[in-house]
């Protein structure tokens, strides 16, 4: 739990409180009068209670702004209830941003998001876990506030990323790894926070009233399997960790054997000092429940709300043979989902080039829906051409985007391929300029393709629209027909 004053906690629980929000991007400060919305997702258990996780926290906000926002720029967000004492939400770095008109929309993650990189230990073996973690942090430029115990490491696992190694070290320390609110790496232990959630601060409570009790620890190293305790899967912490030993497994079992908590989902007033990994009590009437904050989603839109998840296993959530069979059948029936992003900047010139390419194979006829969103930054281009090709044939419609000066525009391309024959299929999108240059910044394109077997479903009339484009200053051209100016009606579909 984040350290704040008793006054701050009291104001946070006041039903008539006022909320201030402040977001800083580089030297630009966004206050309440410019922030349209903000969301902050703080997570430590993606699925259910466990140890050794390395989850990245996410911040998203929309604000009035017409200037440049640089990918990778540092973002800090804070919340206050009196305008004097501020609770920091974290330090983030911009991954994706869109500028449309006088508004900017930004998605940013903390440093954990960028640690899926290679790492090579250059010291001697054996070493210790704390020495290894400190060397990792030094290598990637992170400050470490808690390196954990000094546990012997005999050898390094093959092909483990920086993030993997951090998770393994956290696991043998019976903790999870996360970036704290000040941007530093820390180990988060499941310890009780000195705070009690009250039902008066919640407007919706969903509970799994079954108590989860940890009775078994299972560790897989890739070479050996270790077990301490016993019990059903619902009461077992199971993990892959090449640093685990039988002794460490037994030590973890001793620590967690008496540990129990309830599953719940609370929709409540946002208490920004609560963070994932905290163990808190929830007082519901006269009943007291121990919860583990697996994830907490904060939302600011003038007020601050939150959804708290305490994730435990239930028998209903456990995978069954029937569920596995259904999932297998789903894939056999040609349910496909593909995603493409651009890790590097794409230079757009007069030569036509592919920006999103999907190749897939189906066992029967199917339909597929293509969605491509990207921001285009103009340099010297006058017009941008966007085309969709299905199995070697360009569709008859093109999108033509008129470019002026240093325009920075969001472009959306949509196409529904209504009947793709069984076998190999390919759908791709190309862009080029009439003259001059433009570019798509790194990380600013997201393309998805969703498809499924037809099964007699021919779609609706709405689904048969070939392309929808809803950005300013656009024209849509029919092949060999000419231009149709629809700039005043871009909120309508084009048929």
Q: 450-466: per-residue pLDDT in tens?
A: 876 644 333 333 333 33
Least confident of 213-222, 291-300, 482-491: 482-491
Q: Where are the domains of the chain?
A: 329-489
Under the banding of pLDDT at 50, 70 and 90, the label for residue 82 is very high
Least confident of 64-73, 97-106, 248-257, 316-325: 316-325
Q: What is the pLDDT of residue 25?
A: 93
Mean local confidence (pLDDT), 187-197: 88
Q: What is the pLDDT of residue 329?
A: 45
CB 11 within 8 A of CB 271: no
Dist. CA 477–CA 140, nearest whole Å: 49
Q: What is the pLDDT of residue 443?
A: 85
Q: What length is written for the chain? A: 495
Cross-strand pairs, 394: 389
What is each CA distance from 237 to 92, 166, 425, 458, in whole angstroms?
31, 19, 43, 46
C-alpha R_g of the chain: 26
Q: Which tokens is 178 given?
A: 């996360």
Q: Is the pLDDT of residue 214 over 60?
A: yes
Q: What is the pLDDT of residue 468?
A: 34
Strand 192-198 to strand 279-284: parallel, antiparallel, or no bridges (unpaired)? parallel
Q: 14-59: per-residue pLDDT in tens?
A: 888 899 999 999 889 999 999 999 999 999 998 888 999 999 999 9
Q: What is the pLDDT of residue 15?
A: 83
Provide the b/e sequence for 130-161 (b: ≥16 CB within 10 Å): bebbebbbeebebebebbbeebebeebbeebe
Least confident of 52-66, 244-258, 441-455: 441-455
**pLDDT more than 90, % of the chain:** 45
Q: Is the pLDDT of residue 316 over 60?
A: no
Q: Is the pLDDT of residue 141 over 60?
A: yes
Q: What is the pLDDT of residue 460?
A: 33
Average pLDDT over the chain, rounded to an integer = 83
Dist. CA 99–CA 84, nearest whole Å: 31
Q: What is the pLDDT of residue 466?
A: 32
Q: What is the pLDDT of residue 397?
A: 67
- The phi, psi pair for 172, rounded to 5°, reads -70, -15
More confident residue, 450 or 341: 341
More confident residue, 365 or 79: 79
Q: What is the pLDDT of residue 76?
A: 96
CB 356 within 8 A of CB 428: yes
Burial of 12 (0-12, 13-18, 19+ CB in 10 A): buried
Q: Is the pLDDT of residue 188 over 70?
A: yes
Q: What is the pLDDT of residue 325?
A: 47
Q: What is the pLDDT of residue 168?
A: 95
Cross-strand pairs, 378: 438
Q: Which tokens is 159 given?
A: 């092909």
Angle formed by the axes of helices 129-140 and 162-172, nearest 10°: 150
**pLDDT more than 70, % of the chain:** 85
Q: What is the pLDDT of residue 306?
A: 94
Cα–chain center distance at 245:
32
**What residues contact 340, with CB distance under 8 A and at least 6 apart?**
356, 357, 358, 445, 446, 447, 448
Q: Is the pLDDT of residue 144 over 60?
A: yes
Dist. CA 411–CA 396, nearest whole Å: 19
Least confident of 120-124, 338-342, 365-369: 365-369
What does the DSSP assignment read for 308-377? Answer: EEE----TTTS--HHHHHHHHHHHHTT-EEEEEE-SS-EEE-SS-EEEEEEEEEESS-EEEEEEEEEEEE
Mean local confidence (pLDDT), 83-92: 95
For the segment(s) 329-489, the CATH number from 2.60.120.40, 2.70.70.10, 3.10.105.10, 2.40.160.20 is 2.60.120.40
Q: Is the pLDDT of residue 472 over 50?
A: no
Q: What is the pLDDT of residue 418?
A: 76
């Amino acid at each position: 739990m984040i350290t704040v004053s008793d006054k701050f906690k009291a104001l946070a629980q006041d039903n008539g409180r006022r909320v201030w929000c402040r977001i800083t991007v580089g030297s630009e400060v966004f206050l309440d009068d410019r922030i349209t919305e903000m969301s902050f997702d703080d997570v430590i258990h993606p699925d259910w209670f466990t140890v050794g996780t390395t989850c990245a926290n996410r911040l998203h906000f929309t604000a009035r702004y017409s200037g440049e926002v640089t990918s990778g720029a540092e973002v800090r967000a804070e919340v206050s209830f009196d305008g004097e004492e501020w609770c920091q939400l974290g330090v983030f770095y911009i991954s994706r941003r869109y500028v449309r008109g006088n508004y900017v929309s930004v998605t940013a993650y903390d440093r954990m998001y960028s640690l899926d990189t290679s790492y090579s230990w250059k010291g001697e073996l054996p070493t210790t876990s704390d020495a290894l973690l400190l060397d990792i942090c030094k290598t990637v430029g992170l400050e470490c506030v808690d390196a954990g115990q000094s546990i012997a490491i005999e050898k390094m696992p093959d092909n483990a990323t920086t993030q993997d190694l951090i998770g393994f070290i956290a696991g043998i320390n019976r903790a999870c790894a996360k970036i704290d609110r000040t941007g530093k790496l820390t180990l988060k232990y499941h310890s009780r926070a000195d705070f009690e959630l009250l039902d008066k601060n919640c407007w919706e409570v969903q509970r799994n009233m079954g108590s989860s009790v940890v009775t078994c620890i299972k560790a897989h190293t890739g070479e050996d399997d270790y077990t301490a305790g016993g019990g059903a899967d619902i009461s077992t912490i199971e993990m892959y960790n090449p640093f685990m030993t039988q002794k460490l497994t037994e030590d973890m079992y001793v620590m967690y054997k008496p540990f129990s908590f309830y599953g719940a989902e609370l929709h409540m007033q946002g208490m920004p000092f609560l963070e994932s990994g905290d163990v808190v009590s929830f007082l519901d009437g006269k009943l007291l429940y121990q919860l583990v904050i697996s994830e907490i989603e904060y939302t600011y839109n003038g007020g601050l709300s939150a959804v708290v998840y305490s994730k435990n296993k239930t028998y209903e959530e456990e995978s069954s043979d029937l569920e596995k069979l259904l999932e297998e059948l789903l894939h056999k029936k040609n349910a496909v989902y593909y995603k493409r992003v651009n890790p590097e900047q794409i230079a757009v010139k007069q030569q036509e080039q592919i920006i999103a390419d999907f190749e897939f194979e189906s066992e029967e006829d199917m339909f597929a829906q293509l969605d491509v969103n990207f921001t285009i930054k103009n340099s010297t281009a006058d017009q941008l051409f966007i085309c969709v090709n299905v199995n070697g044939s360009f569709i008859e419609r093109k999108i033509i985007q008129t470019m002026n000066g240093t325009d920075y525009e969001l472009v959306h391309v949509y196409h529904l391929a209504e009947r793709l024959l069984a076998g190999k299929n390919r759908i791709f999108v190309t862009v080029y300029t009439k003259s001059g240059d433009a570019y798509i910044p790194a990380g600013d394109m997201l393309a998805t393709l969703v498809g499924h077997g037809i099964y007699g479903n021919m779609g609706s009339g709405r689904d048969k629209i070939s392309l929808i484009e809803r950005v300013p200053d656009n024209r849509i051209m029919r092949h060999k027909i000419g231009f149709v100016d629809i700039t005043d009606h871009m909120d309508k579909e084009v048929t």
